Structure 1
Amino acid sequence: MISDSLSGLTPFLLYFGTGLAAMVLFKVLYALLTPFDEWQLVKQDFNTAAAISIGGALMGFTLALASAAKHSVAYSDFLIWAAIAMAAQLLAFVVVRFVLMPNIVSKIENNQVAGAVVLASVNISVGLLNAACMSY
């Protein structure tokens, strides 16, 4: 009975490990898109707006990533949809930064929480929509 329960351990470890690696890759790519370093702003300056911003981005991506893992029919399918989820989340930031709130960068650098909440909300909303659209 225990061996039956543990038969899914290898796929779990593969998907979970890949998911964690994808989250790290997303954070790196997200940081490249932003002209500021969220981690530095959070760790050194205790910038709440930066924490909200990066937290919302990671949550939005992880929501979509979780849906990709749940609904994929094979590991390769998971990888493809994880990449699509990542692209959608990165695009969300670009749209907020250059279309919806062109001054979002200075708002976050100046620890203006209201702008960060909007950015995080957009990221989480895109992640939810992204996740729902992957339920094929």
Structure 2
Amino acid sequence: MEISLFLSFLGFFITAVILVVAFLYLYAIVTPYDDYNLIFEGNNIAAALGFGGAIIGVSIPLYSALVHSVSYIDFAIWGIIAILIQLIFAFIVTRLNGKYSFKSKIVQGVIPVGILMAFLSIAIGLLNAGSMSY
């Protein structure tokens, strides 16, 4: 194996991991509740499910960007776009009020709402990924 191929792999892989870490940080800012506190201090299963779904949801379009990109810069740009789409989705969904308030239900630990949040995040991730298969 050529060292240049391995270095190329490392560049793409490390960038993808950095993008996921950036997403984890920004997702916690975008949601109106403290994801990390709910999960690590409150043992809130609904928050953990929603957060886990968001991680999968952003990883799917990042994978698509890795597979379909024609260069490193192309991947980085599409990776950032993927993150922005997922963050916009999370911002909008967690701001719904009333009977369908994700914010209040997740804070209360309502597991079906956490599952729904996870599935919605994954669905948006799949649509996000499919939209970038150019």
- TM, length-normalised to structure 2: 0.91
1:99 to partner: Cα distance: 4.6
Give 2:126's aligned amino acid. L
Residue 114 of structure 1: which of 106, 112, 115 is its match? 112
Q: What is the rounded CA distance, in whole Å, between the counterparts of 2:85 and 2:17 in structure 1?
A: 18
Is 1:94 the counterpart of 2:97? The answer is no
Q: What is the rounded CA distance, in whole Å, between the counterparts of 1:108 and 1:28 in structure 2?
A: 19
Give 2:131's aligned amino acid. C
Superposed counterparts of 1:1-136, under 5 Å: 3-4=1-2, 7-99=4-96, 103-136=101-134
Q: What is the rounded CA distance, in whole Å, between the counterparts of 1:44 and 1:97 in structure 2?
A: 21
**Superposition RMSD in Å:** 1.6
Give 2:58's aligned amino acid. F
Note the residue ranges of structure 2 that are not aligned, 5 or more in a row.
none
1:64 to partner: Cα distance: 0.5
Note the residue ranges of structure 1 that are not aligned, 5 or more in a row.
none
- TM, length-normalised to structure 1: 0.90
Instruction: Assess if the C-alpha contact under 8 Å between 2:32 and 2:94 holds in 1.
Output: no
Instruction: Assess if the C-alpha contact under 8 Å between 1:92 and 1:122 holds in 2.
Output: no
| Count of matched residue positions in the alignment of Structure 1 and Structure 2 | 133
Q: What is the rounded CA distance, in whole Å, between the counterparts of 1:20 and 1:37 in structure 2?
A: 22
Instruction: Assess if the C-alpha contact under 8 Å between 2:96 and 2:102 holds in 1.
Output: no
1:46 to partner: Cα distance: 1.0
Give 2:47's aligned amino acid. A
Report the 3-state secondary structure (helix = DSSP H, G, I; strand = E; otherwise coil) of the residue aligned with 1:119: helix
Q: What is the rounded CA distance, in whole Å, between the counterparts of 1:103 and 1:65 in structure 2?
A: 28
Instruction: Assess if the C-alpha contact under 8 Å between 1:57 and 1:120 holds in 2.
Output: yes
For residues 26-66 of structure 1, the C-alpha deviation after alignment (integer angstroms, 9 at most, x for no partner) is 11111111122212211111110010011011100000001
Q: Runs of at least 4 residues of structure 1 off by over 6 A?
A: none
1:75 to partner: Cα distance: 0.5
Report the 3-state secondary structure (helix = DSSP H, G, I; strand = E; otherwise coil) of the residue aligned with 1:98: coil
